[in-house]
Amino acid sequence: MTAREMWLVFSKKNKPDTDEYEAWSFGDSPEELARLVLEGKKTATASIYELYAYDNERVPSAGDYSVIMDASEKNALCIIRNTDVSIVPFKDVDENHARREGEGDMTLEYWRKAHRECFSQWMEEAGKKFTDDTLIVLERFEVVFKP
């Protein structure tokens, strides 16, 4: 099922307050992270604030809908809706957020190590430097539809 097809099925049944949604796959380990979402273990994600401007994209906000795609970005897996979005320096991400991301052993130490590696690479690719003061967009979400 494509993102559009899933959105149409969801919209007919649920009558969301908007027709807008983003369709995307997780940047690192998309299949594994999508599986954690579908299992209910992953209810949060994080991204780099500065890269939204670099990529000419809008920063996510509470209430946004997203169709989560597989790694090929051809198959829709579920629809999520952001319940909360905050922007904090990397060094201020807390244990609660790390646990909500549902990855590894769900500790802050694991989260920081994994995300420092990934975020450093993404910033380097954009010609920028990652630091502990780099602003991070923290999204909390709920699954609102899965086929």
CATH of the domain at 43: 3.10.400.10
Domains of the chain: total: 1
Q: How far apart are CA 53 and CA 38, in angstroms?
A: 30
pTM for the whole thing?
A: 0.93
Q: How far apart are CA 131 and CA 116, in angstroms?
A: 9
Q: Please give the residue range of the domain that contains residue 39.
A: 3-145
Tens-level pLDDT at each residue, the chain (147 residues): 999 999 999 999 999 989 999 999 998 788 999 999 999 999 999 999 999 999 999 999 999 999 999 999 899 999 999 999 999 999 999 999 999 999 999 999 999 999 999 999 999 999 999 999 999 999 999 999 998
